[in-house]
Amino acid sequence: MMFQKNYKKAYDAIIPDNALVEKMLLLAAEEEEQERRAAKSRQARVVRPMLTMAAAIGIFMTIVSLTIMPVLAANIPAVYRFLQGISPALADFFVPIEKSCTKKGITMQVEAVCVEGNQAEVYISFQDAEGAGNVINGEIDLWTGYGLQSRTGCSVMGGHGFAGYDAETGKSYWKVSLQGRDDFETDKLTFYVYSILSSISEEEREIDLREALTEVELQNVTLSGGSWTAWAELTSHSPRRTDEERREDPRPAAAVMKVKPAGECLADGFTVTGIAFLDGNLRVQICMGDQSRAVRHVRLLLTDESGNERTCDNSVMWKESWGGVAYTFYEYVFANVDADAGAYALYGLFCEESGYVEGDWSVSFTLETDGEE
């Protein structure tokens, strides 16, 4: 009871600034005003055609060619509201598409597109098809094989980011950025996604620091990710490479622990391959296994004897091949951790995104017409 009383007292003091509340009230008033204007405009659209029927025949062709031109995203409430929520400044640059494709009980919808030259940005959504299972629950990820195709060719580079989940509609939104070798022709475009990862599992695991080594052999690896400059500074181990070696492989290298080969690690899970206190730093190496079928993340947290938590100061990532499978390794460093200073505890939040669904979804659409219909 005492705890509850103190907790309530503590949190009673946590309140939003008045300015923040005012801002929301203002937004509500603005939204209401927009709604009122939209209602008036809808009313006007019903009345006006009756009054101008005769004149309309003369300009019919013009109107047709105008109406089949893509309207701005702002004219379609669903897309507009979604884009407004993400970036009001960008909303008007996107052309709403709202065309979908359903396969494997999942509907992919191309919501809106912005194409300029050889660059394209596409907002898409995934949603469980009506009557289908509960796969899309906000925790999915795009996986390999997505792109945009036009008459001039296909996108050659791309990246994607989670844009939001709408619990009301059950839609999971993604923004995909693509680049083609040549400019995209906008008379016919096809956006496709080959597969998605549909489920995420998390676990919390204690890592036993009593197993930490104090002496360990190092090896140089070619990195696929991480900041090698900061790594070299933090660990004081910088691989010396000749100019010739650099010319052969310009990718950065780093000195990491040589503890467990890929062949002894799990291909379909996490393996903590080594822990060591080296030069006043704590190093933790984890093999994430084969990432081609499941994406794995680890967030390591080191707790000191007072219960203070900290995350690592740096990490590097590389790959090792074994039996035709590419194993992904991460090595993390916590700087200035004295092995003799006291009781540290280390735990990791291990997250795996799996549930590989191959749907091969694709949607074709046109961005522009020449206005001659």
Partner 1 sequence: MKEPEERQERLKKTILQYSEMVYRLAYALVKDKYDADDIYQEVFAGYIRKNPQFQNEEHEKAWFIRATVNRCKNFWKSAWQSRTGGFDENEEQGASKSYAGRLRRRGEEAFAAQRYAGDGQEAELIEKVKLLPEKYRTIIHLFYYEDMSVEEISTVLKRKPSTVRTQLTRARRLLKKKMEEGGNV
Residues lying near partner 1 in the complex (CB under 8 A) are found at: 3-4, 6-11, 13-17, 20-21, 23-25, 27-29, 31-32, 35-36, 81, 84-85, 138-139, 162, 164-165, 167-168, 204, 224-227, 230, 297-299, 305-309, 311, 313-315, 317, 330, 351
Region at 153 (left for phi over 0; alpha for psi -120 to 50; beta for the rest): left
Give the nearer residue to partner 1 in terms of CB position, either 182 or 305: 305
User: Smallest distance, Å, CB 81 to partner 1?
Assistant: 5
Tokens of 29: 């008033």
> How far is 55 from 52, CA to CA, in rounded Å?
5
Give the nearer residue to partner 1 in terms of CB position, either 202 or 211: 202
Residues 6 or more apart whose CB falls under 8 angstroms from that of 217 comprise 257, 258
Give the nearer residue to partner 1 in terms of CB position, either 39 or 64: 39
User: Smallest distance, Å, CB 103 to partner 1?
Assistant: 26
User: Smallest distance, Å, CB 7 to partner 1?
Assistant: 5
Give the nearer residue to partner 1 in terms of CB position, either 149 or 177: 177
User: Smallest distance, Å, CB 321 to partner 1?
Assistant: 19
User: Smallest distance, Å, CB 315 to partner 1?
Assistant: 6
Running DSSP on this structure, what letter comes out for residue 340? T
Q: What are phi and psi of 44, to 5 degrees?
A: -65, -40
Give the nearer residue to partner 1 in terms of CB position, either 29 or 341: 29
Report the candidate in 272, 266, 265 with the shortest Cα–Cα distance to residue 300.
272
Give the nearer residue to partner 1 in terms of CB position, either 36 or 181: 36
User: Smallest distance, Å, CB 161 to partner 1?
Assistant: 8
DSSP class per residue in 227-289:
-HHHHHHHHS------HHHHHH--S-EEEEE----GGGS-SSS-EEEEEEEETTEEEEEEEEE
